[in-house]
Amino acid sequence: MEQLIHGDSSETMEVTVLIVDDSKSYRHLMATMLAKWGFRVFEAEDGECALRLLEQQPVHIVISDWEMPVMDGVELCQAIRRSDFGHYIYVILVTARQSLDDLLTGMEAGADDFLSKPVNQSQLRARLHAAERVLLLENTLAARNEKISSAYRQIESDLQAAAKIQHSVLPAHNLSLAGFEADWMFLPSAYVSGDLLNYFSLDDRHIAFFSVDVAGHGVSAAMLSLAVAREFMTGRISSQLLISQNAAGESSPVAPHQVVAELNQRFCLDNDEVFSYYTLIYGVIDSTSGQGTLCQAGHPTPFIIRTGGELLAVGQGGMPVGLFPDAEYQDSDFTLDVGDRLYLYSDGITECESDRQELYGEERLQQLLCEYRALAKSQVFERVEKALRTWHSGEPENRQQQDKKQSRPFADDISLMAIERMGILNT
Partner 1 sequence: MNFDIQSEDGIEIIVPLVRRLDASVAAVFKQELQSFIQQGKHYILLDFSHIDFIDSSCLGALVSILKTLNGRGELALCSLNNNIQHMFKLTRMDRIFTIGDDRAATLKAMIR
Query: Binding of partner 1 at residue 319 (CB under 8 A)?
Result: yes
Stretch that binds partner 1, among 171-179, 196-204, 209-217, 258-266 (CB under 8 A): 209-217
Q: Which stretch binds partner 1 (CB under 8 A): 133-141, 223-231, 298-306, 392-400?
A: 298-306
Options 347, 360, 388, 415; binder of partner 1; rule CB under 8 A: 347
- Cα 370 from chain centroid (whole Å): 32
Per CB under 8 A, 325 contacts partner 1: no
Binding span for partner 1 by CB under 8 A among 59-67, 155-163, 337-345, 351-359: 351-359
**CB-CB contact of 208 with 237 (8 Å):** no
Contact status, residue 269 vs residue 275, Cβ threshold 8 Å: yes
Q: Binding partner 1 by CB under 8 A: which of 13, 227, 359, 370?
A: 359
Which residues have a Cβ under 8 Å from the Cβ of 305 and sit 6 or more positions away? 311, 340, 341, 343, 366, 369, 370, 373
Q: Which of 401, 411, 422, 423 is in the footprint of partner 1 by CB under 8 A?
A: 411
| Cα maximum dimension of the chain | 108
Nearer to partner 1, 140 or 220 (CB): 220
CA 251 and chain centroid, separation: 44
In degrees, rounded to 5, the angle at the alpha carbon of residue 299 between the alpha carbons of residues 361 and 206 is: 120
SS3 (DSSP) at 360? coil
CA-based nearest residue to 277, from 264, 288, 286, 294: 264
Residue 161 near partner 1 by CB under 8 A: no
Output 95 or 279, the one with its CB closest to partner 1. 279
CA distances from 333 to 283, 314, 323 (A): 9, 7, 25
Q: Which of 64, 305, 318, 418 binds partner 1 (CB under 8 A)?
A: 318
* Residue closest to 73 by CA, chosen among 41, 111, 99, 104: 111
Strand pairing category for 90-95 and 61-65: parallel
Residue 402 in contact with partner 1, rule: CB under 8 A: no
- Identify any residues that bridge with 418 across adjacent strands, giving them in sequence order: 183, 343
Please tell me whether residue 351 binds partner 1 under the rule CB under 8 A: yes
- Single-letter amino acid, residue 298: G
Give me the amino acid identity at 230.
R
**Residue 357 lies near partner 1 (rule: CB under 8 A):** yes
Among 7, 110, 216, 339, the residue binding partner 1 under the rule CB under 8 A is 216
| Residue 309 binds partner 1 (CB under 8 A) | no
Tell me the window of 238-246, 295-303, 336-344, 368-376 that interacts with partner 1 (CB under 8 A).
295-303
Number of other residues whose CB lies within 10 A of the CB of residue 49: 18
Is there binding between residue 101 and partner 1 (CB under 8 A)?
no
When asked if residue 271 is in the footprint of partner 1 (CB under 8 A), the reply is yes
The region of 14-22, 80-88, 236-244, 268-276 touching partner 1 under the rule CB under 8 A is 268-276
Minimal distance, residue 322 CB to partner 1, in Å:
9
Burial class (CB in 10 A: 0-12, 13-18, 19+), 33: middle
Q: Which of 264, 279, 287, 400 binds partner 1 (CB under 8 A)?
A: 279
From 130-138, 258-266, 269-277, 304-312, span contacting partner 1 (CB under 8 A): 269-277
The answer to whether the CB of 42 falls within 8 A of the CB of 57 is yes
Spatial separation of the C-alpha atoms in residues 118 and 413, rounded to whole Å: 68
Range in contact with partner 1 (rule: CB under 8 A) among 58-66, 92-100, 346-354, 376-384: 346-354
| Site residue total, partner 1 (CB under 8 A) | 28
> What gap in Å lies between CA 165 and CA 410, rounded to an integer?
21
Q: Chain-centre distance of CA 406, in angstroms? A: 10
Pick from 84, 101, 272, 403 the residue near partner 1 by CB under 8 A: 272
In angstroms, rounded to a whole number, what is the distance separating the alpha carbons of residues 53 and 43?
Answer: 9
Please state whether beta strands 331-335 and 12-14 pair in parallel, antiparallel, or not at all (unpaired): unpaired
Instruction: State how far the Cα of 57 lies from the Cα of 39, in Å rounded to an integer.
Output: 14
213 binds partner 1 (CB under 8 A): yes
Q: Applying CB under 8 A, does 300 fall inside the site for partner 1? A: yes
276 part of the interface to partner 1, by CB under 8 A: yes
Given a contact cutoff of 8 angstroms between Cβ atoms, the answer to whether 156 and 148 are in contact is no
Q: Cβ(5)–Cβ(139) under 8 Å?
A: yes
Which residue from 273, 326, 363, 403 is in contact with partner 1, where contact means CB under 8 A? Answer: 273
Find the binding residues for partner 1 in span 124-153 (CB under 8 A). Answer: none
- Span from 74-82, 235-243, 253-261, 271-279 in contact with partner 1 (CB under 8 A): 271-279
Binding partner 1 (rule: CB under 8 A), the pick from 267, 277, 334, 381 is 277
Please tell me whether residue 217 binds partner 1 under the rule CB under 8 A: yes
Binding-site ranges for partner 1 (CB under 8 A)? 213, 215-217, 271-274, 276-277, 279, 298, 300-301, 317-320, 323-324, 327, 347, 351, 353, 357, 359, 411-412
